[in-house]
Amino acid sequence: MTFNVSMEEIEATVQALTAEGQVYYVTDVDLEGETYPCFQYMPPSLRELFGLALANNATKDFLVYNDERYTVQEGYKKMCALAKGFQEKYNIQKGDKVAIAMRNYPEWLWAFMTIVSVGGVAVPLNAWWTSEELEYALENSEAKIVFCDNSRAKRMQGLIDKLGLKLIGARKIDPDHKIDCHIDDLYDETAGGTPPSVPIGLEDNATLLYTSGSTDYPKGVLSTHRNVLSTIFNWGVMATAIRLIREKKGQELPYDPASMLTTPLFHVTACHSMFLLSFVAGRKVVMIDKWEPEVVLGLIEKERVTNFTGVPTMSMDLMMHPDFDKYDLSSLEDVSAGGAARPIDQVRLINEKFGEAVPTIGYGLTETNAMGALNSRDEYLKRPASIGKPTKPLCDIKILNDSGVEVARGEVGEICVRSTAVFKEYWKNPEATKAAFFPGKWFRTGDLGYMDQDDYVFIVDRIKDIIIRGGENIACTEVEAAIDALGSVHEVCVFAVPDERLGEVVGAAIYLIKGTEISADDLRLQLASHLASFKIPEYIWFHDKPLPRIATGKLDRRGLRDHYKAAVGEK
């Protein structure tokens, strides 16, 4: 059944749903001297959000992982049982940091729910990180307890005594790996369905996620319960609006809502927009722990998945799979992407190949807790280069110049976001926090773009020296520092190289110290113990003279990027 609805209809319905007297009533609140729109009846913490999900959707399917299936009620009871045993053993105090380092497993969800429900701060760590990268984040975050799977436990063995860690194992753990206990031993079923009782409020800290910006090391993005809940409720009111429009038009959903969780839970898209939103909305989550296109196609058919979200590479992998046409994908209503730019041609291709499923793109950052802009349906086909309009009612976007002054429509400036979903601060980094905002608490995204007369936003470039490889942010300076540390490099400049499948990959121009030699393969091999595999340069070009510089004396990153972009494009 074709679902004809415009963004204008959705916006009008959202406006009605947020009026005074409605469940999603939006009013102004004063926070640290600034006034923001906020949901009046938002629960005071994520723990109460989980209780709201239980009250509304207890018997609905929540999670499918391989042969495991959990309802909302079963997931809630898992959280209560784990929270009781966890708190009795570790006596977590409000604000204590507890890390999660594992693949997408059900235990990731139970651990997250438990941590925030006992007043702790969840610290999701990138599961691809090396021991060295994990050490930095654990030391920086001050997390002493880590929920981990076998691979991450192995990488952290040398850190246990060094950092005073207590590892809580999940799934099958190698008997040679030292852990403090196994998660299965912490479940205390006497908790029943009773959650922890520690007081938690909207301004208490909830999450600390690490993001690669333009600095040498990832920055810790600290967010409160209000920040995270604002995103959940903002997406929630939009989902409610779509459902009401559908009902009014007599276009009932042929299947219960079901979402495919394909991206890592240590990113805000998967954690907030997929996991948390699905739990409270009663939307089934079909989870995988690694990307396998044919497996995903089979699960979409089997579980009648209605919403697919992944980085643009994933959408293309599905469409290009030789058995794509053998699967019944008619349950899909939208094919969404986030985390990286989607090629314009892919928008048209999705519209052609996925039948009635509409293409959608979302724009958000770790610092905005995944909330920012949205482009979907016919509007996306009309403006395939746009990331969409600000996600009302909470989010506002302006294009500002270097002085923080709004520019004219159509003029390029920095894309800046303002809402109660925007993070609290960069952990232990007040200078970076201050630099991240213009007056009025406008968060500087580091993306250059413009806004047209209809409020649609277009990205044209980046200010920050980052590479976005298949949805993973990579700081050029971090890779440069790792290459510099090898000892044979005189100069190195790292930059993005376009890639048809992943969007961008890492490229490096290197000028070696006179009299030294190293091959590209040897360099990659040496980097493997310092950098996650996705950060290691795919392209390496050795120069026999110093690298070019701009007038200020800095390396000409943009010039090298453009030069090798053309060179790669010619191959």
pLDDT of the residue at 214: 55
Band (pLDDT 50/70/90 cuts) for residue 553 is: low
Does residue 116 form part of some domain?
yes
Q: What is the gyration radius of the CA atoms in the chain, in angstroms?
A: 23
pLDDT per position as a tens digit, 94-141 = 999 999 999 999 999 999 999 999 999 999 999 999 999 999 999 999
Cα–Cα distances (Å) from 353 to 261, 302, 315, 364, in that order, read 21, 19, 11, 26
- What is the residue whose two structure tokens read 């899909």? 332
Residue percentage of the chain with pLDDT more than 70: 98
pLDDT band, residue 554 (cuts 50/70/90): confident
Residue 2 has pLDDT above 60, yes or no: no
pLDDT of residue 435 exceeding 90 = yes
Query: Does residue 234 form part of some domain?
Result: no
Is residue 512 situated within a structural domain? yes
Residue 60 near residue 256 (C-beta atoms within 8 A): yes
In sequence order, the 6+-apart residues with CB closer than 8 A to the CB of 32 are: none
Q: Domain for residue 282, yes or no? A: no
Query: Does residue 523 carry a pLDDT above 60?
Result: yes
Residue 227 in this model has a pLDDT that exceeds 80: yes
**Bridge partner list, 46:** none
Task: Give the CATH number, domain containing residue 151.
Answer: 3.40.50.980
Which whole number is the average pLDDT over 374-379?
Answer: 89
Query: Buried (b) or exposed (e) across 338-374, using 16+ Cβ within 10 A?
Result: bbbbbbeebbebbbebbeebbbbbbbbbbbbbbbbbb
Residue type, 314: M
User: What's the confidence (pLDDT) of residue 247?
Assistant: 84
DSSP bridge partners of 100: 124, 147
pLDDT of 185 > 90? The answer is yes
Compute the distance between CA of residue 133 and CA of residue 156 in angstroms, rounded to an integer. 10
Provide the residue range defining the domain that includes 549: 466-569
Length of the chain: 571
Which domain-ending residue is among 224, 252, 281?
Answer: 224
For the stretch 232-258, pLDDT in tens is 999 999 989 988 988 888 877 788 999
In-domain check, residue 240:
no
E strands within 385-538? 386-390, 396-400, 413-418, 425-426, 437-438, 442-451, 457-462, 466-469, 472-475, 489-499, 503-512
Is the residue at 382 inside a domain?
Answer: no
Assign 1 a pLDDT band (cuts: 50, 70, 90): very low
* Higher pLDDT, residue 537 or 214: 537
Q: d(Cα 35, Cα 45) in Å, to the nearest integer?
A: 21
- Whether pLDDT at 228 is above 60: yes
Please tell me the chain's helix, strand, coil percentages from 3-state DSSP, rounded to the nearest 5: 35, 25, 40
Q: Does this model's pTM top 0.95?
A: no
The reported pLDDT for the residue numbered 213 is 60
Q: Is residue 213 part of a domain?
A: yes
Distance CA(109)–CA(74), nearest Å, equals 12
| Listed residues 224, 256, 277: the one ending a domain | 224
In the structure encoding, which two tokens stand for residue 60, read together?
């609905």
* pLDDT tens per residue across span 190-219: 999 999 999 999 999 999 999 876 556 899
149-181 pLDDT tens trace? 999 999 999 999 999 999 999 999 999 999 999
3-class DSSP state for residue 306?
coil
Q: 477 lies in a domain?
A: yes
Average pLDDT over the chain, rounded to whole?
Answer: 93
Q: Could you say which of 164, 198, 224 is where a domain stops?
A: 224
Domain count, the chain: 2
Q: What are the pLDDT digits (tens) for 4-44? A: 677 788 889 999 999 999 999 999 999 989 999 999 999 99
Residue 375 has pLDDT above 50, yes or no: yes
Distance between CA 85 and CA 334 in Å, rounded? 40
CATH number at residue 514: 3.30.300.30
Amino acid at 412: V
Q: What is the pLDDT of residues 467-513, one digit of tens each?
A: 999 888 898 888 988 898 888 888 899 999 999 889 999 999 998 98
pLDDT at 571: 43
Helix (H) or strand (E) holding 238: helix 225-248
pLDDT digits (tens, 9 = 90+) for 401-414: 999 999 999 999 99
Distance of alpha carbon 378 from alpha carbon 6, whole angstroms: 7
**Token pair of 402, please?**
């270097």
